[in-house]
Amino acid sequence: MANHKSALKRIRSNDAKRLRNRYQHKTARTYIKRLRDTTDKSEAEKLLGEVMGMVDKLAKKNIIHANKAANLKSSLTKRVNTL
């Protein structure tokens, strides 16, 4: 257990950030699955914009790697274009 006041605060803030990151990552994965399952082109294009924003935000905050974000965006765009 930490002895310093600043170390205790760091533990609390790390837990809060971990939960927030986990929530955002899980939400983005859910939207990606929803986008992959859709067959309607207009709905897919609408969802694609939302998913792109989510993926960009995750990459910016280093929750996912920038290359993974680029690969996800590329593959999802290809999928929507083939509908």
Over residues 36-74, the pLDDT tens digits come to 999 999 999 999 999 999 999 999 999 999 999 999 999
Domain harbouring 65, CATH code = 1.20.58.110
What is the number of helices (H) and of strands (E) in the chain? 3, 0
Alpha-carbon gap, residue 62 to 2, rounded angstroms: 27
Positive or negative: CA dihedral 3, 13, 29, 34: positive
Percent of the chain with pLDDT over 90: 95
Residue 18 has pLDDT above 90, yes or no: yes
Residue 21 has pLDDT above 90, yes or no: yes
User: What is the residue range of 50's domain?
Assistant: 5-82
Structural domains counted in the chain = 1
Alpha-carbon gap, residue 26 to 32, rounded angstroms: 10
24-33: average pLDDT: 97
The answer to whether the beta carbons of residues 49 and 8 sit under 8 Å apart is: no
**What pLDDT sits at residue 3?**
86
